[in-house]
Structure 1
Amino acid sequence: MTGHNGVYHSRAAKRGVYDYRVTPETLAEKVLSAARAAFEALGLDAAVLPAHTAVERPRDPKHGDYASNIALQSAKKAGTNPRALAEQIARNLAATDGVAKVDIAGPGFLNITLDAAAAGEIAGKIVAAGPVYGDNGSMAGHHINLEFVSANPTGPVHVGGTRWAAVGDALARVMRSSGAKVTAEYYFNDAGVQISNFAASLLASAKGEPTPENGYGGEYIGEIAQQVLQQRPDALESEDPKEVFREIGVGLMFDEIKADLGNFGTHFDVYFNEKDLHDKGELDAALARLDQQGHIFESEGAVFLRTTTFGDDKDRALKKSNGEWTYFAADCAYYLDKRDRGFDKLVLMLGADHHGYIGRMQAMSQAFGDKPGTLEILIGQMVNLLKDGQPVRMAKRYGNVITLNDIVEAIGVDAARYVLARYSSDSTIDIDIDLWTKHGNDNPVYYVQYAHSRTCGIARNAADRGVERGDGYDAALLNQPQETGLLKVLAEFPSVVATAAELREPHRIARYAEELAAAWHRFQNAGLRILPYPDEETTPVHVARLWLTDATRVVLANALGLLGVSAPERM
């Protein structure tokens, strides 16, 4: 996996199926193999070596391409001098394919310089892999249910749901790219009190009456009420007008939600209806299963799940004393339904106001007999939309609620998806409209997309001049600092994808894309000619740099694609 501060661990290479000659992962494996050989040569107990090791990029490129502290890490445990151990590891490592030299710094740090040809080969591998470069097997074999957004069909997707629409969709893409089988699921509640209040609000609007207590306001209520009347002109005279407005109105609202999400680029494999849990008797089945596990008890006529057994702060009611099911009972039934569908991992993304759900949901999972970790709950923090440093005033259609369409109208789909996925989900986001609509390098999404468009522009210019990339290139010619620096960043992409999937942090993809764009701009601005002048002959160096340019284009497009953001060829 990839750690903080640019550290790359060998575990991802073991789990994955990377096919690139010298990447951070494969180099970490070489270091560990050299250490094992050193222990054998020195007669030391190799059992003290770690199962996985790491390499990191030195802050100063003069110190080599990568560094390792494995000698320092294991020498004391082995009862030997770290410098002497480092020397033996260095000799073994320097003899391996793709490593040019290994220097020892201080008490035993290994500074590793890659062979230029081995490092440069990554560009060819990337171009050959194309859209699948970055794919890895780190999550192969996992069948994951990823539930996100799940807004009640009582109004549009608000700003919090919009954040999950971007993050959840990106996370699904990242986990699929890492080999997992992922079902993106939307759970909608059409059976509770909020739906009843929504129907009452529609009915009141159709009658020209004020919004009822706990009802929904905003012009959209009146619009939907009129659409109901267009479909059912007799709705107000029907036997149960509120039910007519509930059934048709919920359907209209949910159609609008699905259309908005689709226009945002967020798609779900399954839309799960809570009402089906009640109609199919799944709440009774869940209660019976929990009773078999020995975790159900009755008190004052109500039925409880003993969640305190598993660390919850209090036991939770499943059935009220009047016989009505609680919301938590539906949560239990829905969880069991997912597990019975064959998912081995359930990832649930909730809003900032749902911290209190974590304890009871985790306890419920264990009450069903599942191991801790089967259910993961991610909490997203608030999003603020700003203009000139001040909160944006909303239009009247949805009252004072900031919606998905408000954000898209303000900054566009690409910028909205990018900014919402760019930050860790547990941090609050202030979206500055002025920044995210600006055509300049301080706008992160523009910066990355512009880098991609420049690589496409160079490819067009090459074609216009008759300069061809051909079937191969001399990888050793990519030896300038800006070239080797760009190659290092390109090599990291599969590891970044694997880590983003493992840690459920798609924002790592955005930050990586910006790092890659910066490396590309450094390469392009270094005065190194990618294409020959019109009257100049094409040399092997030009060809090699054209391969490097195309590799950069591939990875920028792949990174943006994982975020659901377009990769424009012209800007």
Structure 2
Amino acid sequence: MTPVELSRTVLHAVRRAVDEGELSVTVPARAVVTPPGPGGWGDYATNIALQLARPAGRPPLRVAEVLRPYLVGAEGVVGVEITGPGFLNIALESAASGEVVRRILRDGPTYGHSDALAGQVVHLHAPHEVRALVVLDATARLLRSQSAHVRTTCDAPPEPEWRAVLGVHVDAYGDIIVDSSDHAVTIRPTATRTIPIPLSLSRDAARWALLHPAAHDRPRITPDHLVQRESNPLFRVRYAHARTRALTRNAADLGFTADPGSIDVTPTAEHLLPALADHPRILTTAATHHAPDRLARHLVSVADAVLPLLPTVLPRGAEKPSAAHRARLALAEAAGTVLAGGLSLLGIDAPEHL
């Protein structure tokens, strides 16, 4: 579907809402659709709800909620999410096709890596503070995944335990002269209240605790990051990955393997497919904005989207493996691949058994 065709689809949704008496507005001549901005989702976004809010006499968010069901049911649309004050983010069927799954399985953990920042030289500098250094390390990984050349420095040498426990490494420290041709960035997120606290957690839990919150938010360093239950986002991400790997092993025992084939956009896959297709954009955005927290939140979204799919992957009882089972297995494996690759960029392990 082209942007022009999608614009017509959006207008058709408005017209249907008007015909059904859910909106009282004049249908505009044009609906603007653009690639999603930061914090967006899917393939395209439209501000039509904000445009119609005043004539409709309703808040933009409410207008978006009225329009969403009409868009979800439109041909070629596989998912619609509302973000911000009322932007409608739309994922298209072409982005959710088996081709995306094939690409993920082909590229493996490097799916989403690109040359978007090739030729760019970035100098990342951090103060002598543990969270700043962990964010610097993850940001450097993201930038390198987009082919940027990265140099990292710090005011003073990292503490030995920061290197040993958190895997922190910088290229140089002290008074550093920055080349005028470099793109210089100082990483200065809101610090932890006391430096030693993150070291009370495991390496993976500590890194997640420092990377998952946005840079302006103060991280919570508590034992909650270690608990193995659904309330812990890191556990959900790693558990979802481990479950996908277990499904691959179990399917092999049953004598079948993954085949993307024709992937049905069932309710359980409605949110997963667009999230997988959106992964390359997330990596580029997180790298460009020096914001590994965007990747961490995206991984939580992928995990939450794949978990409902997993019970449907294997045949039940005397049921024989079918093309649908093979396609679902391919989709699950693709999700596991994205989770593993994303965790690696955050410097966190993705165990196959949990």
| Residue of structure 2 equivalent to 1:53 | 34
- Given residue 324 of structure 2, which amino acid in structure 1 is its aligned partner? V
How far apart, CA to CA, are the structure 1 residues paired with 2:215 and 2:96? 38
How far apart, CA to CA, are the structure 2 residues paired with 1:117 and 1:428? 36
Q: 1:523 Cα shift? A: 2.1
Q: Which ranges of structure 2 fall in alignment gaps of 5 or more residues?
A: 8-30, 52-74, 79-86
- Given residue 127 of structure 1, which amino acid in structure 2 is its aligned partner? L
| Residue of structure 2 equivalent to 1:277 | none
- Aligned residue for 1:532, secondary structure, equals coil
| Residue of structure 2 equivalent to 1:443 | 232
| Residue of structure 2 equivalent to 1:123 | 101
- Given residue 463 of structure 1, which amino acid in structure 2 is its aligned partner? A
- Given residue 162 of structure 1, which amino acid in structure 2 is its aligned partner? V
- Given residue 449 of structure 1, which amino acid in structure 2 is its aligned partner? R
Aligned match of 1:474 in 247, 261, 265? Answer: 261
Q: 1:382 to 1:115 in 2, by over 3 A?
A: closer
**CA RMSD between the two structures:** 3.4
1:279-428 paired onto structure 2 within 5 Å: 334=176, 337-339=177-179, 343-349=181-187, 379-384=188-193, 402-403=195-196, 406-408=197-199, 410-428=200-218
For 1:530-558, what per-residue CA distance to the aligned partner results, in whole angstroms no more than 9, with x for missing partners?
12236432211011011101100110011
For 1:197-244, what per-residue CA distance to the aligned partner results, in whole angstroms no more than 9, with x for missing partners?
xxxxxxxxxxxxxxxxxxxxxxxxxxxxxxxxxxxxxxxxxxxxxxxx
User: What is the TM-score normalised by the length of structure 1?
Assistant: 0.47
Q: 1:113 to 1:346 in 2, by over 3 A?
A: closer
How far apart, CA to CA, are the structure 2 residues paired with 1:484 and 1:128? 22
For 1:127-179, what per-residue CA distance to the aligned partner results, in whole angstroms no more than 9, with x for missing partners?
11112112133322210111224x3xxxxxxxxx1111221111111111122
How far apart, CA to CA, are the structure 2 residues paired with 1:402 and 1:173? 23
- Given residue 551 of structure 1, which amino acid in structure 2 is its aligned partner? A
- Given residue 183 of structure 2, which amino acid in structure 1 is its aligned partner? K
**Contact map agreement 1:127 1:551 (CA 8 A) in 2:** yes
Q: 1:443 Cα shift? A: 1.2
How far apart, CA to CA, are the structure 1 residues paired with 2:43 and 2:293? 26
Aligned match of 1:184 in 140, 147, 152? Answer: 152
| Residue of structure 1 equivalent to 2:247 | 458
User: What is the TM-score normalised by the length of structure 2?
Assistant: 0.73
Q: 1:32 Cα shift? A: 6.3
Runs of 4+ in 1 over 6 A off after TM superposition: 32-35, 70-73, 109-113
**Contact map agreement 2:257 2:326 (CA 8 A) in 1:** yes
Give identity over the alignment, percent: 33
| Residue of structure 1 equivalent to 2:22 | none
- Aligned residue for 1:145, secondary structure, equals strand
2:169 is aligned with 1:267: yes
Q: 1:348 to 1:66 in 2, by over 3 A?
A: closer
Q: 1:424 Cα shift? A: 1.5
Q: Which ranges of structure 1 fall in alignment gaps of 5 or more residues?
A: 1-26, 36-48, 74-98, 103-108, 152-160, 189-253, 275-333, 350-378, 385-400
2:345 is aligned with 1:562: yes
Q: 1:66 to 1:346 in 2, by over 3 A?
A: closer
Aligned residues: 297
| Residue of structure 2 equivalent to 1:143 | 121
**Higher-Rg member (1/2):** 1
1:486-501 paired onto structure 2 within 5 Å: 486-501=272-287
How far apart, CA to CA, are the structure 1 residues paired with 2:90 and 2:131? 41
- Given residue 76 of structure 2, which amino acid in structure 1 is its aligned partner? A
Q: 1:464 Cα shift? A: 2.1
2:46 is aligned with 1:68: yes
